[in-house]
Amino acid sequence: MFDNKEKTNLNEMGEFGLIQHLTQTIQLTNESSVKGIGDDAAVLDFKDKKTLISTDLLLENVHFDLRYVPLKHLGYKAIQVNLSDIYAMNGIASQVTISIGVSSKFPLEALEELYAGALIACEKYKVDLVGGDTSTSTQGLVISVTSIGYAEADEIAYRSGAKEGDLLCVSGDLGGAYVGLQILEREKQIYLENPEIQPDLEGKDYIIERQLKPEARKDVVELFRHLHVKPHAMIDVSDGLASEILHICNASNLGCKLYEDKIPIDPMTYETAREFGLDPTVCALSGGEDYELLFTVPQSDYDKVKNQLDISIIGYMTEPAAGQKMISKSGSEHDIVAQGWNAFTKKD
């Protein structure tokens, strides 16, 4: 991964020097950030708003593979996937902390890349990096991100809030991140067999970006405010559509009808899935990592959402006894099952 250009050994820097170096350019931009890095704890002030907090832990070779994930992208994605959880509550993210466990095989320059990516994401989404922790690791790179945000009490969208008859909607398109991963995995195998061969990613930019550089849907939360829509229930699509639908159904104690032909799938995702011999619908249902928002709205909001190009109405919520069903393109009805990682033999 790292070439032999001049590199700075982390051991020479010391923990304090490293933190100082990585965070020296950070400036706080949000009113709620009273004190950031530099004391024993950050100080935040959300006045009369509710505080939202979410944490993710990312482990090398479990959640990411440094053989094809550039560190800058990893830093960016680590922030995005975590902010996505705040947006999934219909909140606005305002701060993050980043903790890293890193072995001395990493030069300083590698961590600079990681932080460069993380800070680009923070800047783009207007969140302040207000703290973290730093340690050595003997077992690969460890990254933990915590994001903090806020919402009015009555704006918060819980998984449990769906009502019978609600429209089931999703933002963007699905399955792309999983199909993008298949391309990266294929090129990794080719590279391992013959390092002379350059990766062939030609024409697949969109789905590779979906995998390496996902975008949390802050814009959708802002759209809700603009349209005066309050989702009854919401969740982000990290494990695949099927699993997320079942989370909403179970938490809300409801059934649902999902229409296969309404699931939004980008043409590039569709064609590439076919090239790999995969069913595009299965990629959307079980692939995961799309970080779109899945939500329900009352039928009275139909006029507000129906013409939004980036929102698809994919079904509706039913009484629990009707079960959780997908109506296939041929019209037959199937139980929705959360296969997640088990759906594909390639994914561990």
Shortest reach from residue 16's CB to Mg ion, in Å? 10
Helical (H) or strand (E) element with 248: helix 241-252
Instruction: Give the CB-nearest residue to Mg ion.
Output: 133
Shortest reach from residue 132's CB to ligand ADP, in Å? 3
Query: Of 98, 150, 88, 151, nearest to 121 (Cα)?
Result: 98
Is 238 annotated as a binding-site member?
yes
Query: Of 211, 140, 202, 151, nearest to 175 (Cα)?
Result: 211
The interface partner of residue 265, options being ligand ADP, Mg ion, none and the CB cut-off 5 to 8 Å by kind, is none
d(CA 263, CA 169): 9
Residue 145, token pair as written in the block: 């991100």
The interface partner of residue 280, options being Mg ion, ligand ADP, none and the CB cut-off 5 to 8 Å by kind, is none
The interface partner of residue 100, options being ligand ADP, Mg ion, none and the CB cut-off 5 to 8 Å by kind, is ligand ADP
Are the beta carbons of 285 and 341 closer than 8 angstroms? no
Shortest reach from residue 98's CB to Mg ion, in Å? 12
Is 303 annotated as a binding-site member?
no
Name the residue nearer to ligand ADP (CB basis): 91 or 131. 131
Is 135 annotated as a binding-site member?
no
Query: Of 260, 253, 249, nearest to 332 (Cα)?
Result: 260
Name the residue nearer to ligand ADP (CB basis): 23 or 32. 23
User: What does each C-alpha distance from 195 to 67, 96, 149, 189, 191 come to in angstroms?
Assistant: 12, 38, 44, 10, 5
User: What does each C-alpha distance from 42 to 37, 97, 103, 127, 296 come to in angstroms?
Assistant: 7, 9, 26, 14, 35
Interactions with Mg ion, residue window 157-196 (CB under 5 A): none
The interface partner of residue 23, options being Mg ion, ligand ADP, none and the CB cut-off 5 to 8 Å by kind, is ligand ADP
Concatenate the DSSP letters of all residues of 131-176 into one string: EEEEEE-SSS-EEEEEEEEEE-GGG--BGGG--TTPEEEEES--SH
Shortest reach from residue 115's CB to Mg ion, in Å? 16
Are the beta carbons of 341 and 347 closer than 8 angstroms? yes
Name the residue nearer to ligand ADP (CB basis): 80 or 296. 80
Stretch near Mg ion under the rule CB under 5 A, chosen from 103-111, 114-122, 129-137, 164-172: 129-137
d(CA 81, CA 7): 30
Interface residues toward ligand ADP, by CB under 6 A: 19, 23, 37-40, 98-100, 131-134
Is 40 annotated as a binding-site member?
yes
Cβ neighbours of residue 229 closer than 8 Å, sequence gap 6 or more: 223, 297, 301, 304, 305
The interface partner of residue 319, options being Mg ion, ligand ADP, none and the CB cut-off 5 to 8 Å by kind, is none
Shortest reach from residue 236's CB to ligand ADP, in Å? 24
Q: Which one among 31, 45, 133, 152 touches Mg ion, defined by CB under 5 A?
A: 133
Is 210 annotated as a binding-site member?
no
Return residues touching Mg ion (CB under 5 A): 133
**Residues of the binding site for Mg(2+):** 40, 54-56, 85, 133, 236, 239
> Residues at the annotated binding site?
40, 54-56, 63, 85, 115, 132-133, 159, 236, 238-239, 289, 341
